[in-house]
Every structure is written in C-alpha cells, then in structure tokens.
Structure 1
C-alpha cells in the first residue's frame, strides 16, 4: 500500500529534511567502531531537549500517524497495525488513552521499548520519543518488560500477529515478545539509538537484553536479533524517515541509524566473539545455617571484558543465579547436609571453572516446612486489582500474626525490596483466611487489610510469606523477572496442606483476569486431624521399577537413608509417588512426614 503515497511522502521528506542540519553528523565522519558510537552519543545528546511524559501523546500526532497503510490519520501502533489488511481496531489521537483496559482495542498508552523499570523511570529516558511509542494498552501489558526476540512457542498472539512466548532466538530460552516483520527494524534501530544516547549510564542497568557494558551494550544473543531485524527483516523505509524528522522537531535530536543505517555495521558488525571464560571465584564460604537456608559468600572472579553474574550449584546441581558476591540459599530442608559451589559468567555466556566446594548442615529448630500458614490466592488483575490471601489450616486459631510478614521482590531483584507486617491484633481462625488487597482493588466484598506497597506487584514479581523472618511459602522465583502469573488469578489447589518454599505452578489453578469469586475463603480437602500416617502403606515393596506409590493424597516430605544411615535421596511426593530409580539394590529406611506427623518404613530395592 505504500507506493500509492510515494509522491506525498517525497514532498513531506523534502519539507522535513531542513529540520536536521546538513552538518549534524559531520564530527562523526571517518570514525568506526566504538569510537564512532561514542561520538554519536555526543551528537544526539547535544541539542536533546527532553520533553514531558504527557507531551508524548501530542507529539505522536506528527511521529506516529497512519499516513502509510490505511492512510486514515489514526494512531500508528506497531502492535495493532496490519500493513496489508484492515486493522481490527484504530485509535484517534487524543482519545481512548489508558486508563484501565481489559482487552485489545480498549485504549492506547506509551510503550517503552527499553522497559522503564530498567532505568527507574528517570528522565530523560522515560520520555525519549525515539524509544517510547504508542501501543495498545493490553498488548503493551502482555509485552511487559520482556526482551524482544523470535518466538518459537507462542502463548499470546495479538490481532496483527505480534506474539509472546518461548524464545526461538539462539542463546536465550526464556519468554520473549516478537512484533510483526514490518516494524522489527524500527524497534531494533530505536534500541540501538538508546544504546548510543545513554552510553554513559547503561552499563549500570540490568536486563536480559543488556550485557552490563557501555561499549557492546547488548547481550550477544540479543545483538544478533537486532542486527538481523535491522539488516534482513525490515530496512529503513519512508515512514521511519518521516518519523525521525518529526522526532527531531519534537525533542531536538535524531536517530543516527535511520539517517545512516550503515553505521550499525560500522559499530557492531565486525565484533570479535568473546570466548575467554572468567577466572573461578575463590574462597567460597558457607555460614549462618537455619532450618531452611545457608548464607554464602565468595571473592569476585575476573574477566577480560567483565563478570556479570554467578551461578550457584547445590550438590552439583544448578540452583540459581545472582549478580553479587554474597547470597543466601533458601528452600532447604532441616537437618540436611548441603554442598555448594559457584561459577562466574561473563556477558558472552562464558562460564568459569567451579570454585572450591563448601558444605554446611542446616539446623533443625522446627521452623522449616511443615503445617503452617500458606498463600491460598493471588490476584494480579487489571490496573490496581491486586490481592493476596493467606489460609490457616494448622488446626487452631493463630491469634497473633506478629511473627509473620510478607515480602516483595520487584523486577527480578535478588533481594526482598518491600516488607509488609500484619497490623496489631490481626489473627486468622482455623480454616479461615486473611486478605491483603490494594486500596483500589475490587475485592468482591471480602474483609481485607488494604495495603498498596505489598500489593504493587506485577506478574513477574516474587512474593514470600515469612515466619520469624524465615521464608515458609513462595509465589514466583526470587531473582528472576520472567512472568509467571500475569493478568490472572491463582487459587491454591484444595489438596495442598502446607507451604512450599519452591514455587510450583502445579499447586495452583489459574483463572482469568479479575476473577475474585473465591477471595475471602478457601477450601481444603485435608485437615490436621485427618489422613493420619499411622496406617500409610507404600507399594510395591520390594520394588523393581522406578517409582513407589504412597497411600496418601497429601504431599509428603520424604528422606531415604541407606543401612549406614547416610541420606541418599530426599524431596516431596509427586501425585503420591516417589522416584527410586537412582537407588541401587539393597535395603533402605524411608522417612515420611507431613510436617506434623512422621513415620519410617523399610524399603527394599531389587
């Protein structure tokens, strides 16, 4: 459809070209590599006159108007525009600005291609029109702060074909967002501009798309995506040129990669891959064991480019990743010996050799696991419709909640950033619940303690329930900003009888956005007085196969000891089964516990 407006676009270009001075890029002539990148940073910073965030809506009239596809003067939205077909919906400039939304077509807002959480919503990044574009509110919500990439297995597709889902981009296996081909180059060049304009700050910001440096800026896998979209999928076209001129007129600077696409290759095209691994971390130490955690610390590794994070291994199995040289391993079992090692990672994904190994035994003071309060419902609805429900199936009323607290970690932060303490005299009756909701939430009439700090979560923020400052239940994964429950309600399954310090989505039933029919009550098919373990059986026993079955419909903790008393396996039953394929032939002692009762059984493996 573009060729119908070729003459018109040419006239606009001739008029708008005068806005960018002919000598705008003169000081960059003859430069290449990162020297060119740094000089472009000087050019696009000089003259940049940051505007207000609200002014973007007005500026979109000149920068993002559809004069190219349907040519109807509506808002040009990369996530809803159908270049070769009629759009499913359109927005008129100045109308239907978000606001609340429930589905596509409700309203449009401002989408930060580099998520604003990366730079703490600070100026001038927050209102830089080169990377802040108009977008349907609902699709913007699905994109959230995800990296861009090629989707292999989609879990959401917008009306114009933009998709979210498991990455098909080599080098990254998480969740990504993929726009349609027509606008992939626009987005790539906007992010490359962002890397230039904020070169002096970006090394301190954290996101999957970034590698923690001020030169290459982007992770290897993501840079490959950007270069592919820039070169092969969507080269510069007339609407992007016109948009660049209008953006210059609005805030006084231009995107150099629209005016000079060849400079992308001059800066990033001939990079030598980093194949040198960091040195191994040293002096790993374990300390302060509790029933469920052990503190770890180590000396930093070194690298020819830079270390960006550390992998922590527990008993030779990867456990989690952190960016600091101290951390705490949580979710451990009481009275159990664990051995820890650490490796270092650089921006290219090179992993060091392992550190020294240290081992530590957790305590057994009765605070880990077992029957206790647990999260029974989680509502992450539209706008401020957010609530948490905590259930009590301990067998008695808990009349004083002062020992308990809720903590929130936002945007993949490896530490807890917000703490909620229960108000004085707060209590939960046996088989009752306690609701904490946002003050503006629709809580369906349930009695709630209104708190906007702890209920400021999104679908990628970890939430922990603590007792005596020890984690006892967890929603999400601490230190991981991948969305796990976005725009949904989760209700704990009725067969769950105790908290879990490892988030397991299979313990929850998922409902649609803003579902809160069950908020204020919880049903459990088990109780402390039922399902005694005295008559529990395991079968087959002796066992020749890979699993045994436990005659209980509740989740049980198990430990398997050999005849020398050495712990050889531990975990939780899965749908009433325990895996035993790792056991050699012999006689074992199987210990089973529901947190309140405990029995032992002799187990024979043939």
Structure 2
C-alpha cells in the first residue's frame, strides 16, 4: 500500500535559500484580486446598519444584525443538513465538507460509513456544548464522514501534514487540519461568522480567531492569517451561497455576512 502523500506546512519553513531570495527581489509583484461582494441584495435592508463601516464598528454592527436568529436544537440539525447540504446533482444525497463525497441522506449516524455533524468551530474551543446555542448554529455545522470528522477532531486550521485517508485532498498533522481547496474559503467564513456572532454578551464564550494552533479548550480558533488567505483564494460559490440563503429563509433567519461580503473579512481583520 502506497504511503500517504505529505505536504510540508508553510509555518514550519525556517528560511528561504539565497537563490530564492534573490529571485524574489527581481520577480514582478503579484497582486491578489481582492474579495468582492457576491450580493448587495440585502445592503439596504438586512445590512443597512453595517454598510460603510470598517474595523470594530463593522464587527459590532454585524454582531447585532446576525444575533437576531431562530435557534435550532441539536437533533433538528439532522434534517436541516439534509436540506442545506443537499447534493445539487443528486437530491437523495448530501455533500460531505472535507471529503467532497456525495453520500445518502439516510446514512446519518455514528457508525463507520455514516455521516455526522461536524462542528467547524470545534465544540471544545470555548465549551460550546450541544445545548441550543453556538453548538447548534447551522452556519458552522456541516455533514462529514464519521471517520474524517474524528481525524479533524478539535484541531485548528492551517496548511500542511499528511493526507487524510478517505479524502486525498485534505491534510492533517499533530495540531492542525487543512481542508480541500474547494472549501477552504467556506471554512474561513464559517469560523469568522462565529467570531462575529458570539461576543460573550450572552451565556456563551467570546469566540475569537487568533494566529495560533493548538488552542485546545480556549475560545479561540486559528490560524487567522491562513483563514484570511483562504477567504481570498476560494471565494463563495453557488453551493455556499445557496446554503446561506436556505439557512436565512427556512431555519435561522440570519445570514453569514462573509458569504455575502467576503471583503468584510479584510475590513475587520
């Protein structure tokens, strides 16, 4: 059996070689295309008190806006995920977040081969629990293969490690997890939504991103610099936009603002 491919984490690179450094001095600068709004349909209504703001003022305005929501029970997530994450090519299936596989909606549970409820903001990061609240917020909960979900565990997000069995395009090491390229931006926007929605002014912890890994039980998730890159590299697609709309229309009545306005990530952080 072939060994799993290994991706070297960028954070563990100690130095550039002299030749690479010289090349960098002469190479033309490459400017990344900044994130742009995917919709302005809600700017004059839902987001009217946030438009035009930046920094802490924008974060505060968005917190007030998205905190008005209908809350779901943990058991209600099963049926909700069958709708929010339905495979566009097969209405009998859901699409799994990290593996990208399409799996029957009926295979939800806790056995090998089933899919279960993955908390992108790990429950242990701030003791979210599965009581109604952040631990049942549909904006950061996605279907995933039971085994892959267990491998991710409560690790922070970063780049590098060995390929995760069952995905081939996700990687993990001792303290972090790297999702497949097609959902890197999704992960970033879910994490940053949680940081805006839960500010410690209710019964739950003040959730914040930081630039570390190995956050354990602290109410932080990293690595922020990498999440910002992912937001730029993987802009919202039709699946993510539809999911945001379904949650707004049919379940929580609130939106993930970073799907509608991914440029607000840079405006806040």
Q: Give TM-score, length-normalised by structure 1.
A: 0.34
Q: Is 2:104 aligned against 1:96?
A: no
Which structure carries more relative contact order (alpha carbon 8 Å, separation 6+)? Answer: 2
Indicate yes or no: 2:86 matched with 1:65.
yes
Separation (CA, whole Å) in 2 of partners of 1:204 and 1:257: 16
2:224 matched residue in structure 1: 223
The alpha-carbon deviation at position 62 of structure 1 amounts to 2.4
Instruction: State the shift of 1:199 in Å.
Output: 1.7
Aligned equivalent of 1:378: none
Query: Map of 1:138-537 to 2, 5 A cutoff?
Result: 138-151=147-160, 153-154=161-162, 156-165=164-173, 174-200=174-200, 201-203=204-206, 208=213, 222-232=223-233, 234-249=234-249, 250-268=251-269
Please state if 1:36 is matched with 2:58: yes
256 and 138 in structure 1: CA distance in 2 versus 1, 3 angstrom threshold: same
Whether 1:118 aligns to 2:125 is yes
- Verify the 8 A CA contact 2:74 2:132 in the aligned structure 1: no
- Taking the aligned partners of 1:139 and 1:99, their CA distance within structure 2 comes to 12
Higher helix share: 2
Larger radius of gyration: 1
With over 3 angstroms needed to count, the CA separation of the structure-2 counterparts of 1:243 and 1:78, relative to structure 1, is same
Q: Does structure 2 conserve the Cα–Cα contact (< 8 Å) formed by 1:108 and 1:135?
A: yes
Structure 1 residues 59 and 211: CA distance shift in structure 2, 3 A: closer
Distance 1:209 1:186, change over 3 A: farther
Contact (CA 8 Å) 1:146, 1:176: kept in 2 or not?
A: yes
Contact 1:164 1:176 in 2 (8 A): yes
Residue 96 (structure 2) aligned to one of 77, 84, 94 = 77
| Number of corresponding residues | 223
Aligned to 1:136: 145
Aligned to 2:21: none
Return closer, same or farther for 1:226/1:202 CA change in 2, 3 Å cut-off. farther
Q: Distance in 2 between matches of 1:204 and 1:163?
A: 25
1:79–1:160 CA contact under 8 A, matched in 2: no
Residue in structure 1 matching 2:116, options 109, 112, 125: 109
Higher strand share: 1
Deviation at 1:61? 2.7
Contact 1:111 1:133 in 2 (8 A): yes
After superposition, the Cα gap between the structure-2 partners of 1:35 and 1:21, relative to the gap in structure 1 and judged at 3 Å, is closer
Q: Which residue number corresponds to residue 491 of structure 1?
A: none
Q: CA deviation at 1:39?
A: 1.1
Supply the distance in 2 between the matched residues of 1:266 and 1:99 (Cα, whole angstroms): 40
The structure-2 alpha-carbon separation of the partners of 1:138 and 1:28, relative to structure 1 and needing over 3 Å to count, comes to same
Change in 2 beyond 3 A, CA 1:41/1:251? same
TM-score normalized by the length of structure 2 = 0.74
1:370 aligned residue: none
Q: Distance in 1 between matches of 2:168 and 2:143?
A: 15
> Residue 123 of structure 2 contacts residue 135 of structure 2 at CA under 8 Å; is this kept in 1?
yes
Q: Which runs of 5+ in 1 are unaligned?
A: 1-12, 82-86, 166-173, 269-606
- Cα 1:159–1:204 change in 2 (3 A) is closer
Q: RMSD across aligned C-alpha pairs, in angstroms?
A: 2.9
CA shift for structure 1 position 157:
3.3
Alpha-carbon distance in 2 for matches of 1:115, 1:186:
15
Whether the 8 Å contact between 2:82 and 2:94 is mirrored in structure 1 is yes
Deviations 1:544-584 (A, max 9, x none): xxxxxxxxxxxxxxxxxxxxxxxxxxxxxxxxxxxxxxxxx
* Structure 2 gap ranges (5+): 1-37
